[in-house]
Amino acid sequence: MSKGFASSSRMTFVSVVILSIFVSLGYRLYSLHVSNRDHYLTYVEHVRREIIPTYSRRGDIRDINGALLATSMSVVEVGVDPSVVLEKDASKWPKLAELLGIPVEQLKTTLTTKYRAVSLTGVKNPQGLVFHLDSAQKEQKKDEKPEVETSAAVTLPAVEAPKVSTDSDESVVLDEADSTGKRIIKYARLSTGIDQAKFEEIQKLKIKGVYGTNIYRRAYPHNELAAHLIGYLNHQEVPLAGMEHYANFFLRGQDGWVETEKDGKQRELAQFRTREVPAADGYSIDLSIDSAIQHLAEVELQGIRDKYSPQKATIIISDPRTGFILAMANYPTFNLNEYNKLPASELSRMKNVAVADLYEPGSVFKIIAASAALDDGAVNPNTTFDCTLKEIEYKGKIRPLPAEDKSDHFDRPLSVSEIIAHSSNKGAVQLAMRIGEERYYQFMHAFGIGLPTGFPVGNEPDARTFRIFVPPPKYWDGLTFTRIPMGQSVAVTALQIHQAMGVIASGGVLLKPQIIKRICDSNGDIVYRFDRVEERRVIKQSTAKTMARMLLGVTSGADSTGHLAAIPGYEVGGKTGTTQKLVPKEMSNGKSKLVYSKTHHVSSFVGFFPASDPQVEISVIVDDADARTPGKIGYGGTVAAPVFKHLGEQLIPYMAIRAPSALGQINRSLVVAEGGTP
């Protein structure tokens, strides 16, 4: 054979090699495209496909003037893909832990834990995609509906985001497990939120697998201001109280996402985006409260705390012309930004006592008996009653009348105006008896007593609870009707008695107490506006004016119960209340029963001004100020009335409240003409 040609054996070897290559290539192509096609497609999808969430911004909560009460701040959530972390970066971990503010050992555990062994029982994500940051998405109830009275036009775009499987530690894993049952962790959270400057320092470390995502975190710029009204979100961004919870449907917004692909270096390939759903920011809520007025109320409560050290206290300020709340403050209170630092023994600080707590209103309640008797024409302001009686015949039975605060205080018959001005218990009962139990009970309900106000925040008792504490007359015993008209044997909330006084200030109409003024979209456009809501007419306008004139007598005379609430140059109408608290007393048989205490009282003053043209209504209620009160009895006239005056004097210039006109001076003279105290 010529040397220019290869031997047969060599040709055979080369042919076998070439054939083997083609067979191997063919088998590989068959495996990729036929036999193992699904497996490799899933692998490619795991490696290249991802869904990147885009987070919506929660709407702000603002006061009536646009001041921020709750807002969402942009921060960076730092996470890691442990599957790509390199050991060579271990020397940088201490610095990373310092920047994140977490222990080094905790960081090391997160960075080196690459698998989850336990299978999840949750819903598998579609197509086996990797959802890098979905663990940070806010949970939203599908069936959640708006609780605010609004128009059908107020809606948010509803887009169903893909669901993913996450572990309890908020790491995200691949749904497919390996042969040992382990699944690769693709994301673990390192920090719930840091500022941009600190994240830039982290980026300089160049630790592979560590990255950040811009998200929002809730902040409350004024800390304790209006805490019981605003409420708060926990660290999982779940609203738990106040307006944050009530208006969550509007505030929360709707997260979006981008379905895309990435290259081998985990960089997005934007040209392969298959779907993009934009995030929709939440609506903002404008409340009716005024931050400046709210601050004044809370400062007054601090003064009450320092002076009397009461168990609790509340101040409510509203516009009697509309029913909108301008301030609602409680003591004790808490810092919205540090709600989680409260010890278990002090969680009661979170209660909105103005709305949630029941108490016996005392003499403030006498406005209902007087208004009812006047409105039914059973009496006029000059009608007199013997307030020295110890008992009275009513419906053929002798009924004992309650004692006065001072048994020898009244030595002559009192007119209706004087009964109100001097807060006569016996007189209030006789006024109610003029119209009877059933009619009086109807007026109680008309004034809102025994019925929920519907106030949106504060955990108000339900109708069943009110029915227990304000039962209908068929459940009254022989003493009940001699006690309820003076404010005993009946329970109300501070907001209810404030609303009841508002009937007189508004001209005889029961107004719905409201706190939401506007709902605005993310562009600032108003999508819904709340206006004055009249529940019902309770008394005639003429009756309301007569009552307003008579309530001037409570503050006008030096010997009247509320004279310390008087504001020079202004007509102040209102009513004091001093309620004996029910306290347990141990009996000889070892059992205990509730009795009225002579050393523990609830002090209150509820009023408005100018009486001839009411522009502001204020309620001050202080629970158990007795220990530090001269004489050890916390009278409404000595504890609450001065607070009313001080607040009123500060509100006059701020709200530009006009001094009484000549008409007001005429009304003042009518008090004297009708038997009142000037």
Q: CATH number of 349-514+530-673: 3.40.710.10, 3.40.50.1100, 2.30.30.90, 3.40.430.10?
A: 3.40.710.10
Residue pLDDT, tens place only, 548-560: 999 999 998 888 8
Q: Which CA distances in Å does 243 have to 6, 80, 153, 470, 533?
A: 91, 35, 21, 28, 20
Query: Which residues is 529 bridged to in the sheet?
Result: 518
H or E segment to which residue 312 belongs: strand 312-318
Helices (H), 328-376: 353-356, 366-375
Q: Which CA distances in Å does 509 have to 44, 443, 539?
A: 70, 12, 7
Pairwise CA distance, residues 67 & 326, whole Å: 14
* Nearest alpha carbon to residue 522 among 57, 64, 55, 150: 57
pLDDT of residue 209: 85
Q: pTM of the prediction?
A: 0.79
pLDDT of residue 148: 36
Q: Where are the domains of the chain?
A: 349-514+530-673
pLDDT of residue 188: 87
DSSP string, 400-468: EPPPPSSTTS--S-EEHHHHHHHT-HHHHHHHHHTT-HHHHHHHHHHTTTTS----SSS----HHHHHH
Ranges in the chain, pLDDT < 70: 1-6, 38-50, 117-181, 261-273, 406-409, 660-678
Q: What DSSP state is assigned to residue 33? A: I
Buried b (16+ CB within 10 A) or exposed e, 606-645: bbbbbbbbbbbbbbbbbbbbbeebeeebbbbbbbbbbbbb
pLDDT of residue 665: 46
The strand pair at 284-287 and 61-62 is best described as parallel
Contact assessment for residue 607 and residue 644, using Cβ atoms and an 8 Å cutoff: yes
* Nearest alpha carbon to residue 313 among 494, 454, 491: 494
pLDDT of residue 445: 96
